[in-house]
């Protein structure tokens, strides 16, 4: 198995999406507005990927009875959608970062950086394809330290993710209200 394939696939997807974005800029001779069809499409698809990042992986992780594939595959999916979705949302911003949308973007950048930190910590511990720690590969002190770091990381990553989604849902609600319902 190619190690880090989800990162390579996310980079390829970002290059393709970036090329499409560049083509739109070249054709229209302007940065796409967040409110036009292309900008909205980027924001909607990116947000859906971000929701999938959180919800599907979390459901699979917490489900004791369901066996919807290996946990390692779900983690790869989580990483892929957790990179591509935010990239699309970043392009949706039209490079304007004011107000609630700017706060949502800041939370998005922080959560992506935090995700890289979590991935680094997680990959330092040898695991089976189901995500189980391979016993005897680390000393007891090193394993305890890795678990402590992972727990600390979770106490930061999860609340920031929640704040991100609250801000994003408020942004979506406000955008619908002001741009759609008031017209």
For residues 112 and 96, give the distance between their C-alpha atoms in angstroms, rounded to a whole number.
Answer: 19
Q: Which of 97, 119, 124 minimizes the C-alpha distance to 108?
A: 97
For residues 78 and 32, give the distance between their C-alpha atoms in angstroms, rounded to a whole number.
Answer: 28
Contact 47, 173 (CB under 8 A): no
Q: What is the reported pLDDT for 127? A: 62
Domain count, the chain: 1
The predicted-structure confidence for 104-124, as pLDDT tens digits, reads as follows: 888 888 888 888 888 887 776
The predicted-structure confidence for 24-66, as pLDDT tens digits, reads as follows: 999 999 998 877 889 889 988 999 999 988 888 777 777 767 6
Contact 15, 83 (CB under 8 A): no
Domain holding 129, by residue range, is: 5-181
154, pLDDT greater than 50: yes
**pTM across the whole model:** 0.78
């Amino acid at each position: 198995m190619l190690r880090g394939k989800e990162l390579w696939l996310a980079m390829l997807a970002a290059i393709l999406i970036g090329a499409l974005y560049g083509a739109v800029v070249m054709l229209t001779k302007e940065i796409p507005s967040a409110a036009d069809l292309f900008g909205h499409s980027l924001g909607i698809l990116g947000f859906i990927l971000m929701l999938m990042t959180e919800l599907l992986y979390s459901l699979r992780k917490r489900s004791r009875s369901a066996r919807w594939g290996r946990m390692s595959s779900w983690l790869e999916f989580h990483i892929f959608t957790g990179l591509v979705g935010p990239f699309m949302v970043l392009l949706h911003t039209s490079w304007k970062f004011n107000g609630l949308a700017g706060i949502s973007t800041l939370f998005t950048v922080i959560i992506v950086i935090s995700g890289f930190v979590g991935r680094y910590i997680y990959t330092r511990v040898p695991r089976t394809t189901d995500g189980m720690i391979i016993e005897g590969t680390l000393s007891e002190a090193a394993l305890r330290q890795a678990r402590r770091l992972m727990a600390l990381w979770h106490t930061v990553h999860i609340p920031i993710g929640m704040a991100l989604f609250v801000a994003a849902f408020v942004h979506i609600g406000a955008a619908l209200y002001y741009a759609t319902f008031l017209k």
